[in-house]
Structure 1
Amino acid sequence: MSPDRSEVLARLTSLRLHQRDGRRSPHKPLLVLLALARLADTGSSELPWSAAESRLSELIAEFGPAARTGRAQSAAYPFTRLRSDGVWTLSRDVPMDLVGPLAASGVVGRFAGPVEAALRRDSGLLRAVARALVEIHFPATIAPDVLTAVGLDAEDILRAPTTPPAGGRRRDAGWRFAVLTAWDRQCAFWGYDGQLLGAAVGVEAAHVRWWAFDGPDSLDNGLALCVLHHKLFDFGALGLDAEMRVEVSAAFTARTPAGRTVYDLHGRALRPRPGTPIPAAEHVAWHRREVFKGEPLAA
């Protein structure tokens, strides 16, 4: 019996991941998104390992936590292990996690037949799965970048109806306003405080520990950041050290004078107004471990 729409959506958005203690593991979601893009573009989700090895490893490096294994190894994990979720098949039976057999056998992966058939019949289901995956695993600042990088139309996907997880936490509708007020409606990293007709413009409330990974809507998990620094913070180009000083990742590079101003943030201390709580140490440690890319610039 073929799975219905709700079953396919649930299976593709409830993947078994290694996320204990708040650890990020976006490897399988990125593989599913990449296969969705191929299906939308070609009518088939077929993904040869020869293509996945480079493309998937690039996605994991860009949108995952700092690398703990080699690039090919990082891609081999989801490419072989997604089979255990019952939504993915390989053209040859190869051992889990091993790069050698994947390359030697010319292995091709694709969605399991019933799953692919359901996605092919219902383009709305494909969009709903893609939107749910980016909303579950990434903050809104970089969700469009993820979709574009895998080859999907970000604007089209993010217009798809949202499907909130059953029993999920409810966001605090007043958190954004509270964070901006606590930081005097200015960027905590460099003080930008532009306003238009009396309202802050280009300044946003940023979670230190992402909402999707149990980050609370509390003042000690929030920073007011300008749009640019919010995005750089969520990408891992910027972070904080234990003394609440801004860190710039050594992996970040810039050539123009405008881009190189980001380097000037390195070592700058947060200066909240009296009474504003600084980010809690456990949230900063989570960001440093799960988001910040590599090592900071030398002092």
Structure 2
Amino acid sequence: MSPNASDAQVLERLSSLRQHQQDGRRSPHKPLLVLLALGRLAATGTSSLPWSEAEEKLADLIEEFGPTSRTGRTQSAAYPFTRLRADGVWTLDRDVPMDNVGPLREGVTGRLEASLETALKDRPEVLDAVARSLVESHFPGTVAPDVLVSVGLDPDLLEGRSIGNRSPEQRRRSGAWPAAVIAAWDRQCAFCGFDGAAGGGVVGIEAAHVRWFKLGGPDDLDNGLALCSLHHKLFDRGMLGLDDDFAVVVSQRFSARTSQGRAVYDLNGQPLRPRPGTPLPAERHVMWHREQVFQGTAIAG
């Protein structure tokens, strides 16, 4: 890349990573690695990331914000650490085989490609734009700030303006969908029944996609739930889910000590009770959420 590359060129290069696809599973591994490198660059002036640190830090990010892994933690981190080279945005200081953990433990260090690192270091606003583009492309708004905090970036950058124009292929959300979902579920949380209101408007009740809109979820009533802000966040973080009988399940990864926090455990096994005429979430969307978002296994009933 030319040192004089435009902001839009830098953004495009880092925002169009090739994603590994298998059985339609989401794969945020490469974006999480780039975000981790951006966080290091912003904090230290270099994106240099030794495998000795990435083995834990990247594995933690993938475990926290990715789908449940079918491989071990270390192997999940090795995939993007070695494969991101093929996108031309990541380099290793020595040649190692793809996906092979052993050679990585011999002191290998990765970093963003030199011209990209220089451009991002010289133009912090572009670094912010790249980070914003990556989290907004791969995570819903309830989760994106948590991802940024976890990689050492300021979640307030989500309020910034994007560089460049919206792609013609990029879908636009339905402006009418949120209100329709909330009304269909009687203006209350489908999980806990919270129905706070201020005057004539709901407070703390949000329309949640079962299958994330960013990853192909439609603005249909059978892909929506009205959830309170807390349970929307827990649903998108994979701490809450739905079983085959459309009952709420709580992940074993969720923990709480106070009575208020432990009230989440009481949701486990509670069936959805939609208003007559309101469709339950479609099985295909529930299955997507279970496979792609829900973390680990459910607590005992």
Q: What band does the TM-score fall into relative to the shorter chain?
A: over 0.9
C-alpha contact 1:22 1:213 (8 A) present in aligned 2: no
C-alpha contact 1:124 1:160 (8 A) present in aligned 2: no
2:80 alignment partner, SS class: helix
Q: 1:158 corresponds to which residue?
A: 158
Q: Identity of counterpart residues, as a percentage?
A: 64
2:235 paired residue among 228, 233, 236: 233
C-alpha contact 1:22 1:214 (8 A) present in aligned 2: no
- C-alpha deviation, 1:21, in angstroms: 4.8
The AA in structure 1 aligned to 2:66 is G
Q: 1:280 corresponds to which residue?
A: 282
Q: 2:133 corresponds to which residue?
A: 132
CA distance in 2, matches of 1:78, 1:47: 13
2:45 paired residue among 43, 46, 51: 43
Q: 1:142 corresponds to which residue?
A: 143
Q: 2:12 corresponds to which residue?
A: 10
Deviations 1:76-100 (A, max 9, x none): 1111110000000000101111111
- C-alpha deviation, 1:71, in angstroms: 1.0
1:158 alignment partner, SS class: helix
CA distance in 2, matches of 1:159, 1:251: 30
2:174 alignment partner, SS class: coil
CA distance in 1, matches of 2:132, 2:22: 24
C-alpha contact 1:188 1:270 (8 A) present in aligned 2: yes
CA distance in 2, matches of 1:160, 1:256: 36
The AA in structure 2 aligned to 1:132 is S
C-alpha contact 1:88 1:110 (8 A) present in aligned 2: yes
CA RMSD of aligned residues (A): 1.2
The AA in structure 2 aligned to 1:65 is P
1:246 paired residue among 242, 245, 248: 248
CA distance in 2, matches of 1:35, 1:97: 19
Q: 2:29 corresponds to which residue?
A: 27
CA distance in 1, matches of 2:40, 2:239: 29
The AA in structure 2 aligned to 1:46 is S
5+ long unaligned stretches in structure 2: none
When normalised by structure 2's length, the TM-score is 0.96
The AA in structure 2 aligned to 1:85 is D
1:100 paired residue among 99, 102, 121: 102
Q: 1:111 corresponds to which residue?
A: 112
1:72 paired residue among 53, 71, 74: 74
For structure 1, which segment, 288-297 or 161-170, has the greater mean C-alpha deviation from structure 2 after superposition? 161-170
- C-alpha deviation, 1:211, in angstroms: 0.7
Counterparts of residues 179-198 of structure 1 (less than 5 Å): 179-198=181-200
5+ long unaligned stretches in structure 1: none
The AA in structure 2 aligned to 1:271 is R
CA distance in 1, matches of 2:226, 2:142: 14
Runs of 4+ in 1 over 4 A off after TM superposition: none
C-alpha contact 1:81 1:97 (8 A) present in aligned 2: yes
CA distance in 1, matches of 2:24, 2:231: 23
Q: 1:212 corresponds to which residue?
A: 214
2:159 alignment partner, SS class: coil
- C-alpha deviation, 1:124, in angstroms: 1.1
- C-alpha deviation, 1:159, in angstroms: 2.1
